[in-house]
Amino acid sequence: MTEEESLLAAIHENVKLHPYDPSWPSEFAAERQRLTSLLAGAFLEIEHIGSTAVAGMPAKPVIDLLAGVESLARAKSFAERICTSGYATSAEFNETLVDRMWFMRWADGHRTHHLHVVVHDSIVWREHLGFRDALRSSPPFAARYAALKYQLAAKHATDREAYTSAKAEFIHSALRGDA
């Protein structure tokens, strides 16, 4: 498989959940170290988010990193360096985002990492960490989310965007304190 074929396969990869893998936190730590070494001083903080950051949670085996920056203008100034360090992005997709930039790392036709670059301590920053922390602190809440993820992965197996969108109400409900 060529690099271009691998990237296209990763972009169009189906939604498939895997049981929790205890190596995910160390994979996050290794990627955080790699990024901070390659882009010294670019990020104020990098946190592990998403389902791979919650012990016991089934997940697509993609490590989500939340990288806090001073401003999105600053992030745009080093976006090309992120892309030359093993990530890809969609300029068109990023243009639709007002509160973040998104990058994807892949290998062998599979996504391995998502890098979400946001303004440090912004609402988006706090919401991502708040949801992660709610899942980590409440096993019953995490179990409800896991059940929803399995249901939605079966329903939207070939549509990653629909899968992500379908989880939004649960997440927003949790952030409002309704869940």
How far apart (Å, rounded) are the C-alpha atoms in residues 177 and 162? Answer: 24
Q: Give the total number of structural domains in the chain.
A: 1
Reported as a single tens digit per residue, the pLDDT across 98-133 is: 899 999 999 999 999 999 999 999 999 999 999 999
178 has a pLDDT exceeding 80: no
SS3 (DSSP) at 19: coil
DSSP for residue 22: T
Q: Give the count of beta carbons closer than 10 Å to the beta carbon of residue 78.
A: 17
Range of the domain at 80: 3-176
pLDDT of residue 179: 62
Reported as a single tens digit per residue, the pLDDT across 31-90 is: 999 999 999 999 999 999 999 999 999 999 999 999 999 999 999 999 999 999 999 998
Q: Give the count of beta carbons closer than 10 Å to the beta carbon of residue 48.
A: 20
Reported as a single tens digit per residue, the pLDDT across 148-176 is: 999 999 999 999 999 999 999 999 988 88
Total-model pTM:
0.94
CATH number at residue 70: 3.30.460.10
How many CA atoms within 13 Å lie on the side-chain side of 30? 8
pLDDT of residue 166: 95
Q: Which residue has the tokens 């960490």?
A: 129
